[in-house]
Amino acid sequence: MTKVDRPVHIVAIIQPQSRYYEKGVEALQCLLLPTRGEPGCIRFDIFEDRENGQYILVEHFKSQADLDFHYAQEYTKSVFALYETILATAPEIRYLLPIEAS
C-alpha cells in the first residue's frame, strides 16, 4: 500500500456487463470534471477498451488523503453504488509506485 505522504498512482480496469456498457460510460463521464477539480487530483483520465468491453481509469493524486477525499465525494459514491448493479466482475485496481533513477 502507499504511504500517506507519497503521491498515489492508480490504474483501474473495470469490466461492466455488456448490456450496461453505455450506462457505465455516462456515469464515468460525470466523474471527470468534479474529480479533476479536486485540489489533490493531479490526473484523472478515463479510457475505454471497446474491444474488451472495459473502462480503464488512470488516476494520480497528491496523497492517500487526497484519494480518500475523492472516494468520500457523493459523485464518486454514486458511481461505486452503480458498479454493484452493472459490473460483470470486481474492478482490478493496481496501485503503482514510480521507479526513480538511481
Q: In this predicted model, what pLDDT tens digit does every residue of 39-94 receive, in sequence order?
A: 999 999 999 999 999 999 999 999 999 999 999 999 999 999 999 999 999 999 99
pLDDT band at 98 (very low <50, low <70, confident <90, very high): confident
Q: For residue 72, give every residue at least 6 positions away whose Cβ sits within 8 Å of its Cβ, in sequence order, or none.
A: none
d(CA 19, CA 17): 6
Q: For residue 18, give every residue at least 6 positions away whose Cβ sits within 8 Å of its Cβ, in sequence order, or none.
A: 53, 88
pLDDT tens, 22-49? 999 999 999 999 999 999 999 999 999 9
Better-scored residue on pLDDT, 42 or 101: 42
> In this structure, are residues 4 and 66 in contact, taking their beta carbons and an 8 Å threshold?
no
> In this structure, are residues 7 and 62 in contact, taking their beta carbons and an 8 Å threshold?
yes
Instruction: Kindly state the helix (H) or strand (E) to which residue 85 belongs, with its residue range.
Output: helix 74-86
> In this structure, are residues 96 and 18 in contact, taking their beta carbons and an 8 Å threshold?
no
- What pTM value is reported for the model? 0.88
